[in-house]
Structure 1
């Protein structure tokens, strides 16, 4: 395993982060524990979860993933060996069953306390805002729709004050963003610069893959200059970049087969680009999944690559991507395909 550090801290994290959003829906507790056991044995010390997981969100399964992680901590006693990240749910129609979501003081405190209880821990290493409260372009929306009604009032200072108090209480150690835009990232960073008693966002968890490199437009410069590290999610585009959906295949337990509305990575242009990436990987003796993950691992703005899997075979292949070195010829081939079909998935 290779390691890096959470920006502006001494916290050492594996370059591969274990994503958990299928546990409790596509994976059982036993399978989640097996994944954590294996990942830990391979040197993965960074786990990412959220109160919303598993997804798709469902009232009856709310926060089951955190509970599965909590029982693993209790069983193994490995809490102090893991850097643990979780998230507070943002407002949306599909989250109304959770509570009055949003980032009010009471909402943040309630969310943190609930996560701590389920995770069977007294602190969370990295606590993230899962998506913005304001209307903006996240979850597959390419552009900012100015015609959308937006009742958000700037409360960023208040949000950071609440997070600061939780840091001071020892319930969270550091804070981060997710599904955020360049404006949002800079707004949080500038608030912490002006008011130095407020916590600084260390990371931003956004989509990034061969099919969606939109992070490179605007946010990558912010990431490098402001030292806010990317934690890329969906580096395999919901499994599309494993190649298993090519040729119209619909694997029975595949995520897109089970949940057809999760189609942001499986449109016509994305599938055409995927075929080209598949052919490139094959011509160099690589699996498409490992080439796609190894590419993400090489990006200078990436702190840790969030991989996920529903089978142990997938998990082993994904973690092993850390040992794959891409040649200059492969990287040139990737850029050629990207230039011909840039960002086919939003």
Structure 2
């Protein structure tokens, strides 16, 4: 395994992070425990979860993923071996069953305490805002469209002050963002400097061969401000494993189970995936390894959040840390990207 530091800390994290959002929906508790056992054995010490998980979000299963992690901690007695990240859900139609008061102090207090109970731990190493309260950066959407009727009022300082209280109480160690854009990221960093409040140290956004929108604005912020990317969907809902090519739709796959998760499977996405698959074959590697190694080699990356529903997928995903793409392969990737840029929003 390879390791990096969480920015502005001395906390060493594996460059492969274990994603968990299928546990409690597509995966059972026993399968989640098996994945964590294997990941730890392979040197993965960084796990990412959220109060929202598993996905798709449902009232009946909300919090189940954290509960599965909690029973594993209790069973193994190894909380100290894991750097644990979780998230508070932002306001949205899909989170009304959790709460409707966004990132108010009462909301954060409830979210943190309930997560700690489910996780059976006293602290969370990295606590993240799952997406902004502002009307921006919606899932599957490109660009920003201003909403003149938006009711949001600037509250960056209030949120940081609230999070600071939980840091001082020892319930969380550090804070980060998710599904954020350069405006929000810089506002948080500006406020932390101005008011001497906790600094956002990471940003968890989608990043893969089919969606490199992070490079437009966020990557410069990441490099210049040292706020590390935790890349999620590095395989684009499994599209970049190649399993959906040639019209295939494997039983139990995410898009088979949840057809609306098809943002990476539109015609241009399929065409680009075919080209990346040809490039991988030409260079003697799987498409999965090409896609994950591309993410692993980015200078703004802190950790690559991989997710799997089977042990064979998990093994291949973790093994990607040992794949190094040559300058020639990276150049070939750029050529495909220039021909079919960002087909998956």
TM-score range, shorter chain: over 0.9
Q: Report the 3-state secondary structure (helix = DSSP H, G, I; strand = E; otherwise coil) of the residue aligned with 1:274.
A: helix
Give the CA RMSD over aligned residues.
Answer: 0.7
**Aligned equivalents of 2:166 and 2:147: distance in 1?**
36
1:157-196 pair list within 5 angstroms: 157-196=157-196
8 A contact 1:89–1:101 mirrored in 2: no
**Aligned equivalents of 2:192 and 2:101: distance in 1?**
24
Match of 1:98 in 2: 98
2:254 is aligned with 1:255? yes
Normalised by the length of structure 2, the TM-score is 0.99
Normalised by the length of structure 1, the TM-score is 0.99
8 A contact 1:95–1:101 mirrored in 2: no
Q: Report the 3-state secondary structure (helix = DSSP H, G, I; strand = E; otherwise coil) of the residue aligned with 1:161.
A: helix
| Pairwise CA distance, 1:147 | 3.9
Match of 1:327 in 2: 326
| Pairwise CA distance, 1:85 | 0.1
Match of 1:113 in 2: 113
**Aligned equivalents of 2:216 and 2:143: distance in 1?**
12
Match of 2:241 in 1: 242
Specify whether residues 139 and 124 from structure 1 end up closer, same or farther in structure 2 by C-alpha distance, changes over 3 A only.
same
What whole-Å deviation, never above 9, does each CA across 1:87-106 have from its counterpart, x for those lacking one?
A: 00000111101122410000
1:47-62 pair list within 5 angstroms: 47-62=47-62
Unaligned runs of at least 5 residues, structure 1: none
Q: Segments of 4+ in structure 1 off by > 2 A? A: none
Specify whether residues 216 and 118 from structure 1 end up closer, same or farther in structure 2 by C-alpha distance, changes over 3 A only.
same
Match of 2:68 in 1: 68
8 A contact 1:116–1:122 mirrored in 2: yes
What whole-Å deviation, never above 9, does each CA across 1:161-201 have from its counterpart, x for those lacking one?
A: 000000000000000000001100000000001111x1000
Match of 2:78 in 1: 78
2:337 is aligned with 1:341? no
Match of 1:218 in 2: 217
Q: Report the 3-state secondary structure (helix = DSSP H, G, I; strand = E; otherwise coil) of the residue aligned with 1:131.
A: coil
8 A contact 1:24–1:65 mirrored in 2: yes
8 A contact 2:135–2:147 mirrored in 1: no
Q: Report the 3-state secondary structure (helix = DSSP H, G, I; strand = E; otherwise coil) of the residue aligned with 2:337.
A: helix
Q: Report the 3-state secondary structure (helix = DSSP H, G, I; strand = E; otherwise coil) of the residue aligned with 2:243.
A: coil
8 A contact 1:138–1:180 mirrored in 2: no
| Pairwise CA distance, 1:236 | 0.1
**Aligned equivalents of 1:141 and 1:202: distance in 2?**
25
**Aligned equivalents of 1:101 and 1:269: distance in 2?**
38
Match of 1:35 in 2: 35
Q: Report the 3-state secondary structure (helix = DSSP H, G, I; strand = E; otherwise coil) of the residue aligned with 1:18.
A: strand
| Pairwise CA distance, 1:140 | 1.5
**Aligned equivalents of 1:282 and 1:225: distance in 2?**
36
Match of 2:130 in 1: 130
| Pairwise CA distance, 1:148 | 6.3
Match of 1:317 in 2: 316
Specify whether residues 33 and 148 from structure 1 end up closer, same or farther in structure 2 by C-alpha distance, changes over 3 A only.
farther
Specify whether residues 148 and 265 from structure 1 end up closer, same or farther in structure 2 by C-alpha distance, changes over 3 A only.
farther
**Aligned equivalents of 2:264 and 2:304: distance in 1?**
18
